[in-house]
A and B are shown apart, each in its own frame.
Chain A
Amino acid sequence: MTLAYPAQLKYVKSHEYVRTEGDIAIIGITAFAADQLGDVTFVELPKVGDKFKLDQKFGVIESVKSVSDLFMPVSGEITAINERLEGEPELVNHDCYGEGWMIKVKLSDPAELDAALSADQYKEFVVE
């Protein structure tokens, strides 16, 4: 199976991706992470207005096989959560970069993203 890592996104080693639209970051988990987890049954997300620092735990993702914490790839305030995941957690498996997004964050320090990985760097990281 070939897993996709869109070039326009940024990635972190805890397997979250970031897509930026202005000062808003859209965050989810990578195709690699979704594939490793297998069938996602439950995503526990924070509330709108919650503030997190880089690397802080913001939620939990659970699949039939295992459970993992979700970590912030940036610092900022939650402006939206993907409420569809409540009833359709499998969207994370089917379309992790699109309909399976998890949270939107108002970036408090956009410069943090300079340290994140490019698609090529992330691909190299997960192939190892």
Chain B
Amino acid sequence: MTTTSLKETPLANAHKALNGRMVDFAGWFMPVQYKSIVTEHMATRTAVGLFDVSHMGEFMVQGKDATAFMQNLVPNDVGRLTPGKALYTQLVREDGGTVDDLIIYCLKKTGPIHYLAIVNASNIDKDWKWFQEQAKGFDVQLENMSDKTGLLAIQGPKAVDLLADIAGPQVRDMGSFTHDEAKVDGTILTFARTGYTGEDGFEILVGGSKTEWLWNFLLEKGTKYGIEPCGLGARDTLRLEAGLPLYGHELSDEISPIEAGLEWSVKLKKGNFVGRDALLKQKEQGVGKKVICLRADGKALPRQDYDVYDGEKLVGKVSSGSQGIFVGYPIAFALVDAGSSELGKELSIEIRGKKVPAHVVSRPFYKREK
């Protein structure tokens, strides 16, 4: 394997030391698994998983027009964010296609408002260009912090216990999609109660040079909670089971947030934003295709690009599929004709020449007990 052309997070050596199986993920040298995807998936559902997501991108936005710029940039309502809060949203093109999905944090700073946008690793260059283009006419300063920022996630029912041990008991009171800061062993950590697994948990920002220290510190302090380092394989099976979209699969230049089933995050009444006309039209007139959740019969797994049929009629394709490791049956997201998308409907997925029955089920496949 040649790794010279791949980008590395500050944890490349730590991953190798843990026997991580390293792969090229969107140009990044990343671990797909350490022990096994099933072990890591189950550890996250029942204890706590530790994920390196430092490859993701971070853009800082500040300036007189910061809020106006952000409101124009995304469909969700940035105006309701106060310092310490965060929201999930997308970047949408004029035609409704999705540039990326992201989380926007209104940073806990005194003085002028600062926003931090965390975007997908595979889209950093494209998104950075998009931010710069959309900034024309706004008095804002943008900074791409991606290369100097580490990002780790601890996810699972024990994540809060682990963070409380190292950052203090106040973290137990944090609401979902809020964030806070604490000094841990002399290092400032910013942590948000967010994640991509369907579990309670936190995503922790740390200066790039401190990432390896934090990784090892969390592994050590997490031992008593059954922590497992988790690779991108488990990250994908966890997010799929939790019904969370992945850019390039359930969202893309050709799939709008409305088509992806993310209408809850599109606030058409908040005022204008890029792509609003297209999304408004989709909402008023309905969409031609929709991302749905399918539960397949049998044991064969649906996989990306497998054809989906409604009777004899080809109605779409699987966008992501896998074994639902915790729920215990094969699951998939599929993009299908809207006419074949109603809950409970029986469709079929063609798996190796056989049509396997699959039912449209509600999202998510897995919902944690609160």
Taking Cβ atoms with an 8 Å cutoff, the residues of A that contact B are 1, 38-39, 41-42, 44, 60, 62, 64-65, 67, 90, 93
Contact = CB atoms under 8 A, between A and B. Distances in A.
Contact of B36 (A44, A60, A93): A93
Contact of B322 (A44, A64, A93): A64
Contacts of B323: 41, 64
B120 interface: no
Contacts of B233: 38, 64-65
A90 B299 CA distance: 13
Nearest to B323: A41
Nearest first, the 3 closest Cβ-Cβ pairs linking A and B are A42-B299, A39-B38, A41-B323
B19 A1 contact: yes
Nearest to B299: A42
A62 B322 CA distance: 10
Given A42-B299, A90-B38, 18 more contacts: A1-B19, A38-B33, A38-B36, A38-B37, A38-B233, A39-B37, A42-B300, A44-B300, A60-B300, A62-B301, A64-B38, A64-B301, A65-B32, A65-B37, A65-B233, A67-B301, A67-B303, A67-B352
Interface-central residue, B322, B323, B325, by most chain A CB under 10 Å: B323
B237 interface: yes
Interface in B296-349: 299-301, 303, 322-323, 325
A67 B353 CA distance: 14
A41 B36 contact: no
A67 to B, nearest CB: 7
Given A41-B301, A67-B303, A60 B352 contact: yes
B300 to A, nearest CB: 6
17 contacts: A1-B19, A38-B33, A38-B37, A39-B36, A41-B301, A42-B301, A44-B300, A60-B300, A62-B300, A64-B38, A64-B233, A64-B323, A64-B325, A65-B32, A65-B233, A67-B301, A93-B36
A65 B41 CA distance: 13
Interface of B: 19, 32-33, 36-38, 233, 237, 299-301, 303, 322-323, 325, 352
Contacts, number: 36
Contacts of B300: 42, 44, 60, 62
Nearest to A39: B38
A81 B325 CA distance: 26
Contacts of A39: 36-38
Nearest to A42: B299
A46 B36 CA distance: 28
Contacts of B299: 41-42, 62
Contacts of B301: 41-42, 62, 64, 67
Nearest to A60: B352
Nearest to B32: A65
A99 B352 CA distance: 27
A65 B231 CA distance: 12
A87 B233 CA distance: 23
B237 A64 contact: yes
Contacts of A67: 301, 303, 352
B98 to A, nearest CB: 27
Contacts of B303: 67
Contacts of B37: 38-39, 64-65
